[in-house]
A = this chain, B = another copy of it.
Amino acid sequence: MTSPVRVVVVDDHAMFRRGVIAELEAAGAGEVEVLAQAADVDEAVTAVAAHRPDVVLLDVHLPGGGGVEVMRRGQSPETRYLALSVSDAAEDVIGTIRGGARGYVTKTITGPELVSAIRRVADGDAVFSPRLAGFVLDAFAGSIEVAAVDEDLDRLTEREREVMRLIARGYAYKEVAKELFISIKTVETHMSSVLRKLQLSSRHELSRWASDRRLL
């Protein structure tokens, strides 16, 4: 028999962590070993660094930046991430996979299924809830258009994205300037770059563009 999979559980709901761990100990006895748990991004990063687990069970929505932030800061070559979320929203799934997760299951999963998913992720497979599998494939099939869009968004610098978000919400240049502690001229420069990079021509189009992609 192989050694048990070493796991860290990350979720901001104490009761949910408790339930997950209880299930893992019941259904995954001998197969899964829970090393630690964490309730927010900082705790999670610390726990990953300390234990170097095989698999991190990661909630997508977390105080302190979300699961993606954990994966960004908690780099560890031997550690794989399995997202465990209530949400099956497109942006959550895609964002989490892009962030480096090897799987994404919803919280409707049962204990034995979860143990199996953990085992497979530890072995290097990708795992998705049945309802998500078709969706993920669709997303990749439709990635031509999506890719074009997201490449545009990726081309924006961090500062440009901040300005973009505020403008799309209807802020005047003056208000954006005050909010970000920069001059109006700088806001104009960033906006000019944003519009050029996204191939748009006005703040109105930008508002539509952003709301279409749920970036607000």
Contacts and interface: CB of A to CB of B under 8 A. Distances in A.
Nearest to A22: B18
A64 interface: no
A12 B108 contact: yes
Contacts of A208: 170
A15 interface: yes
Interface in A60-119: 86, 107-108, 110-111, 114
A17 interface: yes
Interface of A: 12-20, 22-23, 86, 107-108, 110-111, 114, 170, 204-205, 207-208
Contacts of A17: 19
A205 B16 contact: no
A110 to B, nearest CB: 6
B204 A13 contact: no
Contacts of A19: 13-20, 22
A204 B204 CA distance: 9
B20 A170 contact: no
A107 B13 contact: yes
A15 B114 CA distance: 11
A168 to B, nearest CB: 10
Contacts of A23: 14-15, 18
19 contacts: A12-B108, A13-B19, A13-B107, A13-B108, A14-B110, A15-B19, A15-B22, A15-B23, A15-B111, A16-B16, A16-B107, A18-B18, A18-B22, A19-B19, A19-B20, A19-B22, A22-B22, A170-B205, A207-B207
